[in-house]
A and B are shown apart, each in its own frame.
Chain A
């Protein structure tokens, strides 16, 4: 059972659209993460937030803009994406320590036309 929810589960957008992905965790965790999972590539960490502060940006293009208004919610704002950005975007959360387990949401399957 997961305490991390993501909406929408599927999203199709054009290259000129603006959309947002939402992640919510009900686990009382302090750290939240965005990952990108593409076919035939390892899972890539995109952003890390800890106590609402961004602590990691893994050289992600500016067309991806994260927002963390509180420790329970994480957004990924998308604009002017490219077809190669099509992927499964996974959100995760953890208490905050370096050995803590990360709990993942089901992901948003994004297709950019």
Chain B
């Protein structure tokens, strides 16, 4: 079956530091890959996505590249801010029987950015 593995947190870093969160996956076929972010007390928000190999998703200074050869989708940001403190989830999608999609999530990585 499908699975997503991401590094365990918490990750604590200083403002303006470089952030990397590793994510690897196992899937049949050609899934789409997503990064979602969850701020305290809120639901998940899409951060970025990539739908095919070598695609790069980017948003709010975050980037991730869909690497089929290494089955990875690592999240990076060059200079983090305190407001980036949140839990980050890597996910992949596979098609449900009729339509819609089924997201398989990693365990989440808590990131804490200190001023």
Which residues of chain A have a CB within 8 Å of any CB of chain B? 2, 4, 6, 30-31, 33, 41-43, 45, 48-51, 53, 55-56, 90, 92, 94, 96-107
Q: Would A48 and B96 count as touching, CB distance under 8 A?
A: yes
Closest residue of chain A to B51, judged by CB?
Answer: A99
Q: Would B98 and A106 count as touching, CB distance under 8 A?
A: no
Which residues of chain B have a CB within 8 Å of any CB of chain A? 4, 32, 34, 36, 41-46, 49, 51, 89, 93-108
- In whole angstroms, what is the CA distance A22 to B85 when docked? 29
With A48-B96, A50-B96, A90-B43 as contacts: A99 and B105 at CB distance below 8 Å: no
Q: Would A99 and B100 count as touching, CB distance under 8 A?
A: no
Contact of B96 among A43, A56, A107 (CB under 8 A): A56
Q: Would A94 and B101 count as touching, CB distance under 8 A?
A: yes
Q: Would B97 and A56 count as touching, CB distance under 8 A?
A: yes
With A45-B103, A94-B101, A97-B101 as contacts: A106 and B42 at CB distance below 8 Å: yes
Residues of B near A102 (CB, < 8 A) are 46, 101, 103
Q: Would A99 and B43 count as touching, CB distance under 8 A?
A: no
